[in-house]
Chain A
């Protein structure tokens, strides 16, 4: 990583960005999320980790209602997530999301991928949307690929485009669902660098990842989940050096042990 181990220092405001209270979710009879309580303040960078099947992806997918929760409440930017479609679309346009498999639109060019939502959701004039898109493509360092199609880019480039595409909507919160898990090792760094820059600018971020180096450097809080519950949360120094619960210790020894 380019800025190795230089801890990102960012202020966290008192303003609440996301408030999750007693949230529960079931897939049929299977209880995936149990009594989740999280308050995220504006400017916080939260890393969520845990073994696979622990519900961490499901948790962040509930925040923009890609998954529906059955009990409890999720309030994003002051708007509660209910089945009201207007609220959902409003929250989704304020909350950016990056996926493990990028999910770029293969039939559109990179530029069109980035301008689509601003034009059709925000009603931004096409020219202005293209300027915004080029600005963010420069930020993720691939403006020269703007007229190519996603299939012609490498995985790392695609993920950076996906980040730029979300940023074009000027989101107040960014969700990352294992953004580097599908990438080759040499491409992970370029994506993480982009995310570090984003954190330095004060973006509120929730990141599901196994990149513990990233967590240590960027996160101001690490949440460890297992079996659908929050098992431990702490600021990264304490979390990694002095884990309290046995499950956390086991998990950390497994992923850091080799």
Chain B
């Protein structure tokens, strides 16, 4: 039998790894040239990238940013490819549509304030008090964009404040049902009968007004952002409620939610947009003029909410029943257990789905060009119809694509950040 005993007397020193086992070389070898087929694919891919760029870059890099028409570009000796002048010359239009030029600061201010309002919602490091501004923002933005007296949106907001205080003081005394019902009733009465006279009255004493801008003057990316952001902000709570409703034990609630979701999902968005632009006015009482943009926002919201509800339902279904039982066993009522236990987890699971829905919604805003609203894609038709820019094609669409990509890519990055932040296991 061989001798099995062994004792080490001196320890071995560290040695450098063999060449090609570390750093860039190793990475190249394992990822790009690990086998013959991989090497072939790598070389083919490099060639494809080279081929694309060698055609695209000479076309795209052109001293044409100051040209004022297609003819200008054709006549110029240096310009042999893209005519970027269209982006420079029509930049304002692509951003604001036909918004009055001397008022465009209002849109820019709205966007800057929007970032301030969204920040505390997106990042929990920002003090929670900043959420007060987020709550005021929608009314402020409405006033900044459409103008007129500041008191109208302020009084609409006052309705919410009134309802809040009624609930706060009546609920402990008379119970939740009485409190909430009274609050809703008072708020609705306030909005229907008091907002207009009160805001006119206050405006006579302290007039704070901006020039009125009509909805049809709003266009370009301003329009996409208005529809996209309001759609996202409104469809999210609605989607959560629909998802909960679909799981409800209450038969009527469940049937209503399922019916709504299945109906909306079964209809193309374009059909709904046509309903918004034409049919809806048949159903509304004669004489009520209901802003087209508002109608579009409502239908886009409903559309997105139906899809969102299904995504969130997936998150709810993924939770083990033990979570519901543990919440119940601690004595939490339905709404508290949803708010504190179930929804935070279900929403976390559904983040990728929710965000891709939001991205889809944002890009779908380009469909409003079909009903005559002048979003960036709608504007390209107008711009290409102009004698100066007849025949322009790629430059405009590339620019619009790039702008949309910036928005949607930031959303996607944010969702990845959020997923990392909410990860609580190892």
Residues of A within 8 A of B (CB): 64, 66, 85, 89-90, 92-97, 99, 101, 103-107, 116-117, 120-121, 149-152, 165-166, 169
| Distance of A130 Cα from B419 Cα, bound (Å) | 28
Asked whether, in the complex, the Cβ of B330 is within 8 Å of the Cβ of A169, the reply is: yes
Nearest residue, chain A, Cβ from B425: A151
Other 20 A-B pairs with CB < 8 A, given A106-B425, A117-B332, A121-B330: A92-B328, A92-B331, A93-B330, A93-B331, A96-B329, A99-B326, A101-B322, A105-B341, A105-B345, A116-B332, A117-B331, A120-B332, A120-B336, A120-B340, A121-B331, A150-B424, A151-B424, A166-B329, A169-B330, A169-B331
B90 CB–A CB distance under 8 Å: no
What B residues does A107 contact at CB under 8 A? 344-345, 348, 422, 424
| Distance of A152 Cα from B424 Cα, bound (Å) | 8
Asked whether, in the complex, the Cβ of B330 is within 8 Å of the Cβ of A117, the reply is: yes
Residues of B within 8 A of A (CB): 320, 322-323, 325-333, 336, 340-341, 344-345, 348, 422, 424-426
- The answer, among B329, B332, B333, for a CB contact under 8 Å with A97, is B329
What B residues does A97 contact at CB under 8 A? 329
CB proximity of B168 to chain A, nearest CB, Å: 15
CB proximity of A67 to chain B, nearest CB, Å: 10
What B residues does A94 contact at CB under 8 A? 331
Nearest residue, chain B, Cβ from A65: B328
Asked whether, in the complex, the Cβ of A151 is within 8 Å of the Cβ of B426, the reply is: yes
* 6 A/B residue pairs, CB under 8 Å, sorted by A: A93-B330, A103-B323, A104-B326, A117-B332, A150-B424, A151-B425
- The answer, among A66, A96, A104, A152, for a CB contact under 8 Å with B325, is A66
Asked whether, in the complex, the Cβ of B326 is within 8 Å of the Cβ of A103, the reply is: yes
| Distance of A121 Cα from B341 Cα, bound (Å) | 13
Report the 9 A-B pairs with minimum CB-CB distance, sorted nearest first: A93-B331, A151-B425, A103-B326, A103-B322, A117-B330, A149-B424, A92-B331, A97-B329, A121-B331
CB proximity of B324 to chain A, nearest CB, Å: 9
Interface SS of chain B: helix
CB proximity of B28 to chain A, nearest CB, Å: 37
Compute the total of residue contacts between A and B using a CB distance below 8 Å: 72
What B residues does A89 contact at CB under 8 A? 331-333
| Distance of A150 Cα from B325 Cα, bound (Å) | 17
| Distance of A121 Cα from B424 Cα, bound (Å) | 25
Nearest residue, chain B, Cβ from A175: B329
CB proximity of A136 to chain B, nearest CB, Å: 14
Nearest residue, chain B, Cβ from A105: B341
What B residues does A96 contact at CB under 8 A? 329
Nearest residue, chain B, Cβ from A165: B330
| Distance of A105 Cα from B329 Cα, bound (Å) | 13
Nearest residue, chain B, Cβ from A92: B331
What B residues does A64 contact at CB under 8 A? 328-329
What A residues does B426 contact at CB under 8 A? 151-152
Nearest residue, chain B, Cβ from A91: B331
Asked whether, in the complex, the Cβ of B332 is within 8 Å of the Cβ of A105, the reply is: no
CB proximity of A133 to chain B, nearest CB, Å: 13
Interface centre among A105, A151, A169 (most CB of B within 10 A): A105
| Distance of A99 Cα from B424 Cα, bound (Å) | 21
CB proximity of B424 to chain A, nearest CB, Å: 4
Asked whether, in the complex, the Cβ of A99 is within 8 Å of the Cβ of B328, the reply is: no
What A residues does B330 contact at CB under 8 A? 92-93, 116-117, 121, 165-166, 169
| Distance of A101 Cα from B322 Cα, bound (Å) | 8
| Distance of A66 Cα from B422 Cα, bound (Å) | 30
Nearest residue, chain B, Cβ from A122: B331
| Distance of A152 Cα from B426 Cα, bound (Å) | 6
- The answer, among B323, B332, B348, B422, for a CB contact under 8 Å with A121, is B332
Asked whether, in the complex, the Cβ of B425 is within 8 Å of the Cβ of A152, the reply is: yes
What B residues does A95 contact at CB under 8 A? 329
Asked whether, in the complex, the Cβ of A99 is within 8 Å of the Cβ of B422, the reply is: no
| Distance of A120 Cα from B424 Cα, bound (Å) | 23
Nearest residue, chain B, Cβ from A95: B329
| Distance of A97 Cα from B348 Cα, bound (Å) | 26
CB proximity of B119 to chain A, nearest CB, Å: 23
CB proximity of A35 to chain B, nearest CB, Å: 26
Asked whether, in the complex, the Cβ of B333 is within 8 Å of the Cβ of A85, the reply is: yes
| Distance of A152 Cα from B425 Cα, bound (Å) | 6
Asked whether, in the complex, the Cβ of B326 is within 8 Å of the Cβ of A105, the reply is: yes
Q: A120-B336, A151-B425, A151-B426 are in contact. Are A105 and B328 (CB under 8 A)?
A: no
What B residues does A105 contact at CB under 8 A? 323, 326-327, 341, 345
What A residues does B326 contact at CB under 8 A? 99, 103-105
Nearest residue, chain A, Cβ from B341: A105
CB proximity of A147 to chain B, nearest CB, Å: 12
What A residues does B320 contact at CB under 8 A? 101, 103
Nearest residue, chain A, Cβ from B344: A107
Q: A85-B333, A101-B322, A151-B424 are in contact. Are A106 and B328 (CB under 8 A)?
A: no
| Distance of A103 Cα from B327 Cα, bound (Å) | 9
| Distance of A105 Cα from B426 Cα, bound (Å) | 15
Asked whether, in the complex, the Cβ of B345 is within 8 Å of the Cβ of A106, the reply is: yes
| Distance of A38 Cα from B333 Cα, bound (Å) | 28
Nearest residue, chain A, Cβ from B321: A103
What B residues does A93 contact at CB under 8 A? 330-331
Nearest residue, chain B, Cβ from A148: B424
What A residues does B345 contact at CB under 8 A? 105-107
CB proximity of A4 to chain B, nearest CB, Å: 32
Asked whether, in the complex, the Cβ of B329 is within 8 Å of the Cβ of A66, the reply is: yes
| Distance of A90 Cα from B330 Cα, bound (Å) | 10
CB proximity of B11 to chain A, nearest CB, Å: 35
What B residues does A106 contact at CB under 8 A? 345, 424-425
Interface centre among A85, A107, A121, A166 (most CB of B within 10 A): A107
